[in-house]
Amino acid sequence: MSSLNPPPQPSPESDDQARAIEKWGTQRTTNLNHEIEASDLAVNEKNRVWWENLPMTYADWESQQREPVTAEDFDRTDGFYFGTNPYIREQVDFTSLAGKQVLEIGCGAGSAACAFARAGAHVTAVDITEQAVKLTRRNAELKGITNLEVLRMDAEKLDGLADGRFDFVYSWGVLHHSSNPERCYQQVARVMKPGGTGLIMVYHRNSMRYWLKGLYWLVVKGKVLQGHSFPSVQRFYTDGYYHKHYSASQCAESLHQAGLVTERTAVTHMSSRMIPFVPEGLRQWLKSRIGWLLVAHVRKSDS
């Protein structure tokens, strides 16, 4: 097993990268959405096909070479992952999970799964796409990690995973893309041990991004005339084919329905500036209130 290691440090380009990632609505993502929309696939198949075509690697959506290949490429991807998501670096205690059973749902290129494994956890990482499975396996292999199993699974039916198996379930920016996120929360509760904990990040409805981008696309771009609404117009500016945004109370209620207790929620944002030129103190304050990312820290009760 690899030695205990903290997560990789952010690369100096992380801020630029966060901006590139937030710059959804590129020609490529828009074309892909149109193609998928025209197909008669089931919703979760549309979700899967989107991510098979554009896996999450923290590379620019328009870039021709988006997939990490070498060990250096993966180190860069890991640096972008932890750099653009400062909340994970600051709030997830990787080393406390040594020896524990950890599940990551929606592992993307495997940056978090590898960090959990390097910290000594027994990790299972799942994703709905072959691409993510391939990338995560390669990331682990290049790092010499052996305590990580990677499986292709839909979070709505984690059939191969036993009830009560995991001490910690982690999912960052994934379940809101599934056609039925509430079904995913039920699966999280099922596979978590009694007394186990988890961290789930979904998109935040009371965020500046949701309302301003929504208004821009509805009014300035005229999508309201084609019958679009705030929820449906997200397709034009956000990643993935399908996404649900939650307020903190809606999220806690959905998790409660699934059998999970939300111990606390936090609002955060990527590393990039939400509004240019605002001073750092105000920037942090805004991020913690109207940021785009809503994080729920959950627990399954002992009984």
Ligand X SMILES: C[S@@+](CC[C@H](N)C(=O)[O-])C[C@H]1O[C@@H](n2cnc3c(N)ncnc32)[C@H](O)[C@@H]1O
Task: Report the interface residues with ligand X, using CB under 6 A.
Answer: 47, 51, 56, 81, 105-106, 108, 126-129, 132, 154-156, 172-174, 177-178, 239
User: Whose structure tokens read 């981008």?
Assistant: 213
Burial of residue 104, with CB atoms counted within 10 A of its CB: 0-12 exposed, 13-18 middle, 19 or more buried:
buried
Closer to ligand X by CB, 81 or 185: give it. Answer: 81
Closer to ligand X by CB, 17 or 129: give it. Answer: 129
Query: Least separation, in Å, of the C-beta of 50 and ligand X?
Result: 8
Query: Least separation, in Å, of the C-beta of 203 and ligand X?
Result: 10
Q: What angle do CA 203, 205, 209 make, to 5 degrees?
A: 80
Closer to ligand X by CB, 168 or 172: give it. Answer: 172
Query: Least separation, in Å, of the C-beta of 224 and ligand X?
Result: 27
Give the DSSP per-residue string, 107-171.
-TTSHHHHHHHHTT-EEEEEESSHHHHHHHHHHHHHHT--SEEEEE--TT--TTS-TT-EEEEEE
Can you tell me the distance from the alpha carbon of 244 to that of 19, in angstroms, rounded to the nearest whole number?
A: 21
Closer to ligand X by CB, 218 or 237: give it. Answer: 237
Can you tell me the distance from the alpha carbon of 110 to that of 91, in angstroms, rounded to the nearest whole number?
A: 19
Closer to ligand X by CB, 7 or 173: give it. Answer: 173
Q: What angle do CA 225, 227, 228 make, to 5 degrees?
A: 100
Can you tell me the distance from the alpha carbon of 169 to that of 157, in angstroms, rounded to the nearest whole number?
A: 15
- Give, in order, the Cα–Cα distances in Å from 149 to each of 121, 125, 296: 11, 6, 25
Closer to ligand X by CB, 126 or 142: give it. Answer: 126
Can you tell me the distance from the alpha carbon of 2 to that of 35, in angstroms, rounded to the nearest whole number?
A: 43
Closer to ligand X by CB, 20 or 128: give it. Answer: 128
Query: Least separation, in Å, of the C-beta of 220 and ligand X?
Result: 26
Query: Least separation, in Å, of the C-beta of 45 and ligand X?
Result: 10
Closer to ligand X by CB, 132 or 150: give it. Answer: 132
Q: Taking Cα atoms as reference points, which of 133, 146, 138 lies closest to residue 107?
A: 133
Query: Least separation, in Å, of the C-beta of 303 and ligand X?
Result: 29
Query: Least separation, in Å, of the C-beta of 113 and ligand X?
Result: 9
Can you tell me the distance from the alpha carbon of 236 to that of 96, in angstroms, rounded to the nearest whole number?
A: 40
Query: Least separation, in Å, of the C-beta of 152 and ligand X?
Result: 9
First to last CA, the chain: 34
Name the token pair of 180. Answer: 């039925």
Q: What residue number has its CB nearest to ligand X?
A: 108
